[in-house]
């Protein structure tokens, strides 16, 4: 009896539900996500390496319902819904070019072009807030906590690269 209890307890800890295409019950309920009628939240297990794979689905009490191994298992509509939700949560603008970068008294002031146009922001502790998330990919975190993606350092134009080079 005791032994059974222990096994049961172990099962709860180690058994994970992996979502299959039959579980495609995700809906966008006007700016947030539901699954099977209840509000759920998504959290990436490996946000830097696997943005569309290994996504934990949590209920409103932050308890894990299961893991989506790859959103590609679902139909296109569901994929779209999931992508929207993930983009909302992990909002990150992509830096297309770094137009100006000024270093002053321990802070760097950035003028950049993103997919939404011109933007400027400030970094404190510049070295630490430019995070190398993959060999060629950078995440820049400004003072407020906003995140900006540089998808490819090599792909940057020469001027942009020169401006950020010192901080890499």
Applying CB under 8 A, which residues contact another protein? 2, 6, 29-32, 39, 47, 84, 87-92, 103-107, 109, 116, 122, 124, 127, 142-147, 165-166
Least distance (Å) from another protein to the CB of residue 132? 12
**Residue 44 · residue 90 · CB < 8 Å:** yes
Taking the least distance from each CB to another protein, the nearer of 73 and 111 is 111
Taking the least distance from each CB to another protein, the nearer of 87 and 152 is 87
Least distance (Å) from another protein to the CB of residue 21? 26
Least distance (Å) from another protein to the CB of residue 85? 10
Taking the C-alpha atoms of residue 130 and residue 168, their distance in angstroms, rounded to an integer, is: 8
The helix or strand, by DSSP H or E, that contains position 111, with its residue range, turns out to be strand 107-114
Taking the least distance from each CB to another protein, the nearer of 134 and 166 is 166
Q: How would you class 10 by CB atoms within 10 Å of its CB: exposed for 0-12, middle for 13-18, buried for 19 or more? A: exposed
Least distance (Å) from another protein to the CB of residue 152? 20
Taking the least distance from each CB to another protein, the nearer of 9 and 134 is 9
Least distance (Å) from another protein to the CB of residue 109? 6
* Beta carbons within 8 Å of 64's beta carbon, 6+ residues apart: 16, 56, 57, 58
CA dihedral angle for residue 53, residue 89, residue 111, residue 99, rounded to 10 degrees:
20
Helix (H, G, I), strand (E, B) or coil at 87: helix
Taking the least distance from each CB to another protein, the nearer of 97 and 122 is 122
């Amino acid at each position: 009896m005791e032994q059974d209890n222990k096994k049961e307890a172990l099962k709860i800890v180690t058994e994970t539900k992996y979502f299959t295409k039959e579980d495609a019950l995700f809906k966008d309920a006007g700016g947030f996500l539901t699954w099977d009628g209840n509000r759920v939240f998504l959290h990436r297990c490996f946000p830097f390496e696997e943005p569309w794979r290994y996504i934990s689905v949590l209920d409103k009490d932050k308890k894990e319902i299961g893991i989506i191994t790859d959103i590609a298992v679902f139909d296109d509509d569901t994929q779209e819904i999931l992508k929207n939700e993930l983009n909302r949560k992990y909002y990150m603008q992509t830096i297309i070019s770094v137009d100006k970068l000024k270093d002053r008294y321990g802070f760097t002031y950035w003028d950049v072009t993103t997919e939404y146009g011109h933007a400027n922001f400030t970094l404190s502790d510049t070295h630490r807030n430019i995070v190398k998330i993959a060999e060629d990919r950078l995440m820049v975190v400004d003072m407020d906590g906003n995140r900006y993606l540089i998808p490819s350092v090599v792909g940057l134009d020469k001027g942009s690269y020169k401006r950020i080079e010192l901080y890499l």
